Structure 1
């Protein structure tokens, strides 16, 4: 199983691209309607999608 990251909106979009280039799956919260969401909402999304939440 490949490690899946959920990149927080406080990080540049290039973070997800760099993770993907390194062989990881990288999801950006902005691509899933989570821009401005509270941390606990993002954590719930990460848990539901088996992703590690990545933030600065």
Structure 2
């Protein structure tokens, strides 16, 4: 994992684990993470999760 352009934003360095953690959580729930270019700068991330009925125990 790495951080690109660490001087940007508020100058605090992260470990670069955020998207990996998000992918793990979304995948564990049967979902998919997507990324697309956002010209002229940046990236747009999204995710989908399967819709299932939740049965409550009465």
TM-score of the pair, normalised by structure 1: 0.30
Say which structure is richer in helix: 1
Q: RCO (CA 8 Å, sep 6+): is it higher in 1 or 2?
A: 1
